[in-house]
Amino acid sequence: MKKISQKITALLTLTLATPFAFADAASELQSRLQKVQMFTADFNQNVSSANGQQVQQGTGKLQIKRPNLFRMDTKAPQESQIISDGKTLWFYDPFVEQVTANWVTEAVNNTPFVLLTSNDNSHWQQYSVVQNIDTFVLKPKAKNSNIKQFDVRIDANGVLKGFSTIEKDGQSNLYMLRNIRNDNMADTVFQFSVPKGAEFDDQRNNKKKK
């Protein structure tokens, strides 16, 4: 009887603790991210298929400035840019000369990178968060998200080591950071102007412009 009582107590404790664990993990991740207000880093990218086979490698540069400013320039094997100016999230593919613009608030569901610089609770509430030492696993609550999982590796001092995404089809993108430095950056680094001649898909207004 004593063993049964202990099992019930343990089960109740686990059940009651789980929601708080999610909340604590999200708070801990936000706290760590806020410790470093801005930084620049180079990254190596590995793209793998659902069965774990490596299909592509890439390199680029990441720039972050809190709050809400984010820039990722992929240099190889093909150039591309993802830039958040705090309101709009810009995607630019020079190869096909196409620009896509989305409101940041509407892009969080499919672009969790935004969370790396965001203090907006409405953004964080779109994900559940679980902590495993220095790795935080984020999963979107919305069923229509293209992202299955977003992992963030960051130490207790707020140094971001890397992050990865797993898409619904099982493809994974791993970003490993190196040469991390606390460079001063002007806000203009995160501004974007549509290049002349590029096709402009403005999802903010559901219009295409050229």
- CA–CA distance, 67 with 89 (Å, rounded to integer): 14
pLDDT of residue 16: 40
- Closest to 187 measured CA to CA, from 11, 63, 100, 24: 63
Kindly indicate the confidence band of residue 11, based on its pLDDT and cuts at 50, 70 and 90.
very low
Predicted confidence (pLDDT) per residue in 125-136, tens digit: 999 999 999 999
| DSSP-derived 3-state class of residue 81 | strand
Predicted confidence (pLDDT) per residue in 90-139, tens digit: 999 999 999 999 999 999 999 999 999 999 999 999 999 999 999 999 99
Contacts of 176 (CB under 8 A, 6+ apart): 43, 44, 45, 46, 161, 162
Q: 21-25, 58-62, 196-200: lowest mean pLDDT where?
A: 21-25
| DSSP-derived 3-state class of residue 1 | coil
Predicted confidence (pLDDT) per residue in 18-50, tens digit: 434 556 999 999 999 999 999 999 999 999 999
Which sign, positive or negative, has the C-alpha torsion 140, 86, 184, 60? Answer: positive
pLDDT of residue 183: 86
């977003």: which residue's tokens?
150
Predicted confidence (pLDDT) per residue in 150-179, tens digit: 999 999 999 999 999 999 999 999 999 999
- CA–CA distance, 47 with 57 (Å, rounded to integer): 6
Domain 2-209: CATH architecture, name and number where available: Clam (2.50)
